Structure 1
Amino acid sequence: MKNTTLILQQLRLLMLNASIVGPEYLSAYIVPSSDAHHNIRRADCDQRLAYVSGFDGSSGTAIITADSALLWTDARYYTQAEKQIDDNWTLMKDGLDGTPSQAEWLRDNLPFQSNVGVDPTLYSRGEWSSMLTSLNFGNIILTPTSINLVDISWGDDRPLRPTNAVIQLPTQFTGKPVEEKLIQIREDVVNAGGEVLVITELDEIAWLLNLRGTDLPEAPTFFAFAILSEEEIQLFIERSKLSDVIVEDLVAVTNGSIEFHPYENISAELQRQATTRNGKFYFSKNCNFALTSVVDESRHIIAVSPIALRKAIKNWVEIDGMKKALIREAATLCQFYYWLEVAMEDGENVSEVSAASKLLDFKRTKENFVSLSFKTISASGPNGAIVHYFPTNETNRRLLTEEMYLIDSGSHYFDGTTDITRTFHFGTPSDHQRDCYTRVLKGQIAIAMVSFPNKTPGHAIDALARQYLWEAGYDYGHGTGHGVGAYLNVGEGPQSINSNYNPDDPGLTENMVISNEPGYYEEGNFGIRLENMIRVVTSSVNSGFLEMEDMVFVPYQHKLIKIDLLTEIEIEYLNAYQEKCRQIVGRFIIENDLGIQVYEWLLKETEPIIPFP
């Protein structure tokens, strides 16, 4: 728990400093968790919310006034936030009845015509417009600050922006050359009525140019902006990140139409093009307000980026690569689970940290492995109830045979990205734990077996995963599925499976890859999550319909399954699934000499489930 007293004192003084914020002092200052690129993962230099509050979850917003400091976050992070923020802060549990929105709180607690400041690079155009409108109802003024106050407070201790080298990803992994992607995206922009596409999301730039980087933790992206028009593409990037070979190849594949600019020159160049062009500028809905403000609003097209839509539907090379990566990952997990089971039986001192470290050791031996795709969630006992828990030396717990153990892990391979979760008990689970586990498993099976019309939005099938938990009065506070990139972000959109309506969801389409991860979390006791990756495919039964294809084949722990809660169809599904584990992953284990003990463990864990008479 971080002591934030001095930081808050500094920020409150800055809010009154006329030379920084102007003659109208700020009554409140907003600190979002986002960065200028709407990244899922953020570099250390952009961890402003963590700096001011101590809370390092991926989603949250702080509001600081003269006498209050409040943190809004969603249900995934309630428990984590309570453990990380000190007594200076009030936790606002977003999504619960009785919790006001940020705008409502500001309207109710600030004087008439107060000024509320925020860095405009950290709000999207939509977020800015929504907050502006909401505050105007209370005669509160939303003010863009030209300098981020947190950065001033952070000073010389703020980490530098990474400038790591960029690499090329060959078409043997991408399946589509840059030239073809540029043609398709340019057509999409023109068809939408645009002249220029402003690209600010890092995974979109990486996908478009078949490049990858290491600027962000566990994300193969790099800091850059891009502006694409019919005649040229301009890339705003620290030049030292690009080798001469990459520059030469980009010049060649664009027929010399690419220009390179310093990263920080994006705003100035956008301003120049706004004065020399007459057409409309296509901005992603996630583009930050500061950049969209450079172009007159009458010339905006603000929508889901055409790159996001193209990227979400994987080509056949990407699908094949992801399948191969997932077989490697499944075999690695079998190695790890076998090792872990033996270690627990032998009474070894295995901790959350040492288990995660051992799993990484296994991963590093596999072909095309690059890195983890997120920090491994290795959670024992009550830590499992913290949805996005990452063990540290301070929170590290020993794994005990009396407790549940949840491990959520993913990898980046050159040919695909993975994300898989399993939950275990190495002793004798209680009837309650088995009941909860089986209800989560039934929900996962329901998603895996669903058939639905083409373009059905993900929120329309989300309840299938929750129905068996709801029967017992349970639920979980996160989505059921997110998109997964092809050696890109482990969480990508615009598709999702979520109980909340997603206005950007284009509907599930063939060859989208998405996670399937229902869960259940009992604070102070245990957490359960089961996660596979699935591909949307054409239905083998109903014309015009789609269904799901499992891409992950990792066993479930039989002792946690209450067979009497399963239907005959669910048992048939599980038996077929476990046979695929044997055939697909078992073959890989044998052919790659991962150990006869590992293969025998797999056979033991995939015995057919026999229903009670």
Structure 2
Amino acid sequence: MQVDDAVTAHLGQDVEVRPYEEFLSYLEDLVGTGLVKKDQPVLLGDKTSLAVVHALGEENVVTVPSPVAAMAAMKAITNSTEIEGFRQYHIRDGAALARYFAWLEEQLHNGVVLDESQRSDKLEELRSELDLFRGLSFTTIFSTGPNAAIIHYSPDPQNCAIIKKDQVLMSQTCCQYFDGTTDVTGTWHFGTPSEEEKRALTRVLQGHIAIDTAVFPTETTGYAIDSWARRYLWKDGLDYRHGTGHGVGHFLNVHEGPQGIGTRIAYNSSGLKAGMTMSNEPGYYADGKWGIRIESVVVVREIETPNNFGKFGYLRSFERVTMCPIQTSLINLSPLTLEEKKWLNEYHAEVESKVGPLLEGKDACALAWLKIKCDTACLIPLGRGSLARRVEQVVFVSIYVQECYCRYGHLYCRVFARQSPPWFLIAVKSRHQCASVPTGHAGLTD
């Protein structure tokens, strides 16, 4: 709850806090006691809910152009302190996500039966240990298999699905910290994903990258750039039935306006400006089968361009602040350009460098999980082939060990190996352990 005892004390005696459920009945009481009447009307903005008008009585209200739009436009542009808050709490939240998914993957590896509701509770428990945590911004959505195809699915603790390693898992988790609000969605698979699933996620990823790296004039609308996220899905005859992005508040509403990216005409009425914070969340949902979404919180920022036509000023679509790996075993490499692979490599390097230090000396399993998920060997070209094939097929001139770490009871080593320039990074597993390697990771038995 955001209005705690400290907030109530700060507001003082002149501010009365009541449960949200009592709002309409409270308005009706104002009319019944004569505090609101025809010659003492209430001014309502033109976007006020009709339920409020009915509660007060149409004869007791005067509708005027809403001042909320102007206030919302000002609130939408965050200041430097708020932006720094967005950066810092997402790093902390990234540590909780790494701890959670490391725990989840290990539980499944050990054959533990978990349902969608149990997964939600565990993540909230881990987040509650973090500094400045204030609770969820809305109910966590963990959905597996066909449930993931339901865009706004929410698990019923009494009747929810059991997670299966051979099904897609989608997680949308949002919470409140005193220095900001999160909204992050990831897609996972703990078995062997189908080619159809991999192709769809790759197209979603390309759209996500297109929005993240876009450059456009100041005041360009989210309506105008929405198709940049969808065009890769369109190539395969696919699409999604929700917006590409919405405004995100700073310790406020997880869905805010007026900024947003989508096909709604409302998104054509407010141009994007530096300092706005919003989500970037293309997806795809195969009805009755599975669903995919990649969502990050981003900050609109200015960028220097070689020219400044029309003196509009130009914006680099976004600074990404969410710190959660994207599962590379769900990616089909062939459609990705070199620039898209570079983007993914750089993002994972950033996640590991910022989140890793929060796990060192505190959670070795989560740190190892993060290192594995942020390794990018499978995305680096290697002559005629690539490390997407099994490493055993490659003959190396020389290798040397960089570091070793344990995961799932096995020993893994990061090494540099060289067939011909340049050097590239792989992971090597001890020959004394079983032959399995975590999904999406190149393996070499020595």
Q: TM-score range by the shorter chain?
A: 0.7 to 0.9
**Is the CA contact (8 Å cut-off) linking 2:179 and 2:251 kept in structure 1?**
yes
Which residue is 1:419 aligned to?
Answer: 183
In the alignment, structure 1 residue 565 sits paired with structure 2 residue 311: no
Query: How far apart are residue 583 of structure 1 and its match?
Result: 1.3
Cα distance between partner residues in 1 of 2:285 and 2:347: 26
2:65 alignment partner, SS class:
strand
1:537 alignment partner, SS class:
strand
Query: How far apart are residue 307 of structure 1 and its match?
Result: 2.2
In the alignment, structure 1 residue 265 sits paired with structure 2 residue 45: no
Q: Which runs of 5+ in 2 are unaligned?
A: 385-446
The verdict on how the C-alpha distance between 1:581 and 1:215 changes in structure 2, with shifts beyond 3 A counting, is farther
Which residue is 2:363 aligned to?
Answer: 595
Query: How far apart are residue 212 of structure 1 and its match?
Result: 12
2:228 alignment partner, SS class:
helix
Query: How far apart are residue 213 of structure 1 and its match?
Result: 7.9
The verdict on how the C-alpha distance between 1:534 and 1:263 changes in structure 2, with shifts beyond 3 A counting, is farther
Query: How far apart are residue 272 of structure 1 and its match?
Result: 6.6
Query: How far apart are residue 304 of structure 1 and its match?
Result: 4.8
- 2:373 is aligned, of 605, 608, 611, to 605
Which residue is 2:273 aligned to?
Answer: 509
Q: Which amino acid aligns with 2:374?
A: T
In the alignment, structure 1 residue 355 sits paired with structure 2 residue 119: yes
Which residue is 2:438 aligned to?
Answer: none
Deviations 1:370-428 (A, max 9, x none): 11111111101110001111111343111111111111101111111101011111010
**Is the CA contact (8 Å cut-off) linking 2:247 and 2:259 kept in structure 1?**
yes
**Is the CA contact (8 Å cut-off) linking 1:285 and 1:305 kept in structure 2?**
no
Cα distance between partner residues in 2 of 1:345 and 1:378: 19
The verdict on how the C-alpha distance between 1:541 and 1:270 changes in structure 2, with shifts beyond 3 A counting, is farther
Query: How far apart are residue 509 of structure 1 and its match?
Result: 1.3
Cα distance between partner residues in 1 of 2:19 and 2:381: 51
Which residue is 2:45 aligned to?
Answer: 283
Deviations 1:215-243 (A, max 9, x none): 56xxxxx9779xxxxxxxxxxx98xxxxx
Q: Which amino acid aligns with 1:605?
A: K
1:232-311 superposed matches below 5 A: 264-265=29-30, 269=35, 271=37, 281=43, 283-288=45-50, 289-290=53-54, 293-294=58-59, 300-302=64-66, 304-311=68-75
**Is the CA contact (8 Å cut-off) linking 1:458 and 1:505 kept in structure 2?**
no
1:215-226 superposed matches below 5 A: 215=19
Deviations 1:547-600 (A, max 9, x none): 21101121111110111111111111111111110111112323xx43122122
The verdict on how the C-alpha distance between 1:434 and 1:306 changes in structure 2, with shifts beyond 3 A counting, is same
The verdict on how the C-alpha distance between 1:571 and 1:402 changes in structure 2, with shifts beyond 3 A counting, is same
Q: Which runs of 5+ in 1 are unaligned?
A: 1-161, 172-177, 179-208, 217-221, 226-236, 239-261
The verdict on how the C-alpha distance between 1:468 and 1:510 changes in structure 2, with shifts beyond 3 A counting, is same
Query: How far apart are residue 501 of structure 1 and its match?
Result: 1.2
Which residue is 2:296 aligned to?
Answer: 532
Q: Which amino acid aligns with 2:287?
A: E
Cα distance between partner residues in 2 of 1:270 and 1:504: 38
The verdict on how the C-alpha distance between 1:213 and 1:419 changes in structure 2, with shifts beyond 3 A counting, is farther
Deviations 1:87-144 (A, max 9, x none): xxxxxxxxxxxxxxxxxxxxxxxxxxxxxxxxxxxxxxxxxxxxxxxxxxxxxxxxxx
In the alignment, structure 1 residue 378 sits paired with structure 2 residue 142: yes
Cα distance between partner residues in 1 of 2:103 and 2:31: 51
1:527 alignment partner, SS class:
strand
Query: How far apart are residue 493 of structure 1 and its match?
Result: 1.1
1:93-242 superposed matches below 5 A: 167-168=6-7, 215=19
In the alignment, structure 1 residue 576 sits paired with structure 2 residue 341: no
1:379 alignment partner, SS class:
strand
Cα distance between partner residues in 2 of 1:284 and 1:317: 33
Query: How far apart are residue 286 of structure 1 and its match?
Result: 3.4
TM-score by length of 2: 0.75
Cα distance between partner residues in 1 of 2:109 and 2:18: 39
TM-score by length of 1: 0.55
The verdict on how the C-alpha distance between 1:342 and 1:296 changes in structure 2, with shifts beyond 3 A counting, is closer
The verdict on how the C-alpha distance between 1:165 and 1:328 changes in structure 2, with shifts beyond 3 A counting, is closer
Cα distance between partner residues in 1 of 2:45 and 2:121: 41
**Is the CA contact (8 Å cut-off) linking 1:304 and 1:504 kept in structure 2?**
no
Query: How far apart are residue 270 of structure 1 and its match?
Result: 5.7
Which residue is 1:545 aligned to?
Answer: 314
**Is the CA contact (8 Å cut-off) linking 1:285 and 1:303 kept in structure 2?**
no
2:334 alignment partner, SS class:
helix
**Is the CA contact (8 Å cut-off) linking 1:283 and 1:301 kept in structure 2?**
yes
Q: Which amino acid aligns with 1:312?
A: A
**Is the CA contact (8 Å cut-off) linking 2:77 and 2:277 kept in structure 1?**
yes
The verdict on how the C-alpha distance between 1:570 and 1:170 changes in structure 2, with shifts beyond 3 A counting, is farther
Cα distance between partner residues in 2 of 1:283 and 1:499: 25
1:536 alignment partner, SS class:
strand
Cα distance between partner residues in 1 of 2:215 and 2:187: 27
The verdict on how the C-alpha distance between 1:586 and 1:503 changes in structure 2, with shifts beyond 3 A counting, is closer
In the alignment, structure 1 residue 443 sits paired with structure 2 residue 207: yes
Q: CA RMSD in A?
A: 3.1
1:305 alignment partner, SS class:
helix
Which residue is 1:405 aligned to?
Answer: 169
Deviations 1:502-542 (A, max 9, x none): 16742111111101111111121111111100001112436
Query: How far apart are residue 344 of structure 1 and its match?
Result: 1.4
The verdict on how the C-alpha distance between 1:286 and 1:446 changes in structure 2, with shifts beyond 3 A counting, is farther
**Is the CA contact (8 Å cut-off) linking 1:270 and 1:294 kept in structure 2?**
no
Query: How far apart are residue 264 of structure 1 and its match?
Result: 4.3
The verdict on how the C-alpha distance between 1:327 and 1:508 changes in structure 2, with shifts beyond 3 A counting, is same
The verdict on how the C-alpha distance between 1:596 and 1:493 changes in structure 2, with shifts beyond 3 A counting, is same
- Give the count of matched residue pairs: 368
> Highest relative contact order (Cα 8 Å, sep 6+), 1 or 2?
2
The verdict on how the C-alpha distance between 1:213 and 1:539 changes in structure 2, with shifts beyond 3 A counting, is farther
Comparing 535-544 and 578-587, the one that deviates more: 535-544
Cα distance between partner residues in 2 of 1:486 and 1:347: 40
Cα distance between partner residues in 2 of 1:569 and 1:292: 59
1:564 alignment partner, SS class:
coil
1:533 alignment partner, SS class:
strand
Cα distance between partner residues in 2 of 1:611 and 1:427: 25
Q: Which amino acid aligns with 2:30?
A: N
The verdict on how the C-alpha distance between 1:503 and 1:335 changes in structure 2, with shifts beyond 3 A counting, is closer
Cα distance between partner residues in 2 of 1:214 and 1:479: 33
The verdict on how the C-alpha distance between 1:350 and 1:494 changes in structure 2, with shifts beyond 3 A counting, is same
Cα distance between partner residues in 1 of 2:219 and 2:39: 37
Which residue is 1:152 aligned to?
Answer: none
